[in-house]
Amino acid sequence: MNDISLQIILSMISIEIPFIVLKVLLACLQFIYLDLLQTDKWLPQLFYPNYEEDEFDDEGLNIYFQRNGLDSTRFIINSGSSLVYLTLLIGEAILWLLIYLLSFIIPIFVRVELNWQKIFNWNSIFRFIIQQQTPLLISSFIGFLDFRTSPKIEYLNATLSIVISIILPLGMMLIFRILYKHNSESNFSSYQELLQELNHQKSSVGKYWQLLILLRWQFTCIIMVFLRDYPSQQLQSLLLLSYFYSILVITSNPFQTRLDWWLFIFQETGIALYLYVLMGLTPLNENGLFQQELGWFLMSLIFLSVAGGMLKAIISAKELIMKKWHRRQKMSLLRAKIYSIRAKKSKLLSELAEKEPKPRSNILENQQQAYHPDETNQGLSVTAAVDHYQAYIEKYQQRLAAF
């Protein structure tokens, strides 16, 4: 969450930046906010038939929001693909509920319900909140500033703004409750989206880190929307947030790897420098000194932030590939050991079958044991060796199954 997207969203701050930096920011924005569903071409027209006509009265809060793709004050238009994903998530939940109820009536739906749980589970909800909270929250806040109840479609916009602004905090409370009850013995796979790559067993901050990041995004959305006419207060508030989270990471180390720790510190340093440079572009710099130099410095910060994110992605991909390669090597070694032990076991079993005495009377058996004790003891030692090899086979099979 704390990657280039957090630095790019700072372009909503109501401070004019040099043109060349603006072009770079807009290019980054188009890449980050790439709408695969192309909702801007069909979603507004679906609810507003006259959307493309000149008499349609609608515009963004200011030019800075419009640059970020928020060209309207209506929730349905601003939310875009996030609203579509929310609709799909609600549809999945309703479908799961129907299948769950039918499983009590029709036995075949029991298996369907079990398979559906693998697709729709807690991780699906957490993933949606993590990825779509920011656009939904900003759209709902903007909807509050242009509250309309007529015609009916405007009433729908107002209702959605209120519902989203209530549901998201309730979702945060749900996440806190789940994390509060989580312990090291709990089923990690049920909350993988909240705890992966975090030091949740040794650090209490690591346990709640994903929740803290979501809270940061909520505060950032509030600052951007409701303090849009006060850029100085925006800079001060965002700097305080950056300082708070930097100190939190330095003192508690919520990450599992040092790479994530260093990347976070690197990104936070870039954000702090970005905000300080913006101060030089405010009216406080009456003479406009070093405007061009500050613009180039801003652009270099953006490129460094992008490079840091790409470097982490490359290192993570390399580690994943090496991990899979070592895993396959260990599996091949274990299989070779199993095959070798099975061969030794088969050889010992054949030797035991050859040396097994033919059925004879108890008297002759007692005489054999009396006059040939070594052969009897050798047969017993071979049997013990077979049992020993069988235990090894079971041991290595268990290790192989663990992969």
Q: How many other β-carbons are positioned within 10 Å of the β-carbon of residue 142?
A: 25
Burial degree of 143 (CB within 10 A; 0-12, 13-18, 19+): buried
pLDDT at 310: 81
Q: Is the pLDDT of residue 136 over 70?
A: yes
Give me the amino acid identity at 201.
Q
Burial degree of 30 (CB within 10 A; 0-12, 13-18, 19+): exposed
Same domain, 288 and 319: yes
Same domain, 90 and 155: yes
The CA distances from residue 92 to 85, 88, 175, 186, 373, in Å, are 10, 6, 20, 26, 75
Same domain, 305 and 254: yes
**Structure-token match 């850029």, residue found:** 231
Q: Choose between 227 and 8: higher pLDDT.
A: 227
pLDDT digits (tens, 9 = 90+) for 21-48: 777 777 766 666 556 778 878 888 888 8
Same domain, 323 and 377: no
Tokens read off for 97: 């509920």
pLDDT at 397: 63
Same domain, 388 and 240: no
- Place 368 in a pLDDT band, splitting at 50, 70 and 90: very low
Q: How large a percentage of the chain has pLDDT more than 70?
A: 77
Spatial CB neighbours of 2, under 8 Å, sequence gap ≥ 6: 213, 216, 245, 264, 267, 268
> Mean of the pLDDT values across residues 295-322?
81
Strand partners, 255: 198
Which of 179-183, 318-322, 363-367 has the largest mean confidence?
318-322
Among 331, 362, 388, where does a domain finish? 331
Q: Is the pLDDT of residue 243 over 90?
A: yes
> Mean of the pLDDT values across residues 197-211?
85
First to last CA, the chain: 30
Q: Is the pLDDT of residue 248 over 90?
A: yes
Q: How large a percentage of the chain has pLDDT more than 90?
A: 10
Same domain, 171 and 279: yes
Q: Choose between 374 and 49: higher pLDDT.
A: 49
Same domain, 343 and 250: no
pLDDT digits (tens, 9 = 90+) for 172-192: 888 888 888 776 555 566 677
d(CA 66, CA 8): 14
Same domain, 44 and 173: yes
- Place 371 in a pLDDT band, splitting at 50, 70 and 90: very low
**Structure-token match 């992605």, residue found:** 313
Q: How many other β-carbons are positioned within 10 Å of the β-carbon of residue 124?
A: 14
pLDDT digits (tens, 9 = 90+) for 94-104: 888 888 888 88
Q: Choose between 399 and 256: higher pLDDT.
A: 256
Among 287, 313, 331, where does a domain finish? 331
Helix (H, G, I), strand (E, B) or coil at 57: coil
Q: Choose between 360 and 113: higher pLDDT.
A: 113
Among 331, 359, 386, where does a domain finish? 331
Q: Choose between 286 and 100: higher pLDDT.
A: 100
Q: What is the largest CA-CA distance in the chain?
A: 119
Query: Are the CB atoms for 132 and 164 separated by under 8 Å?
Result: no
Same domain, 144 and 33: yes
Q: Backbone dihedral region of 11: left (phi > 0), alpha (psi from -120 to 50 degrees) or beta? A: alpha
Tokens read off for 39: 């909702």
Same domain, 360 and 299: no
> Mean of the pLDDT values across residues 78-86?
88
Distance of CA 298 to the CA centre of its chain: 29
Tokens read off for 223: 């600052």
Domain total of the chain = 2
Enter the pTM of the model.
Answer: 0.75
d(CA 237, CA 219): 9
pLDDT at 30: 64
d(CA 75, CA 39): 13
Q: Which domain holds residue 371?
A: 333-402
pLDDT digits (tens, 9 = 90+) for 209-232: 999 999 999 999 999 999 998 988
Helix (H, G, I), strand (E, B) or coil at 198: strand
Same domain, 140 and 202: yes
Tokens read off for 300: 């270099």
Same domain, 338 and 325: no
d(CA 2, CA 6): 6
Tell me the helices (H) and strands (E) count for the chain, helix number first: 17, 0
Give me the amino acid identity at 103.
S
Q: Choose between 121 and 138: higher pLDDT.
A: 138
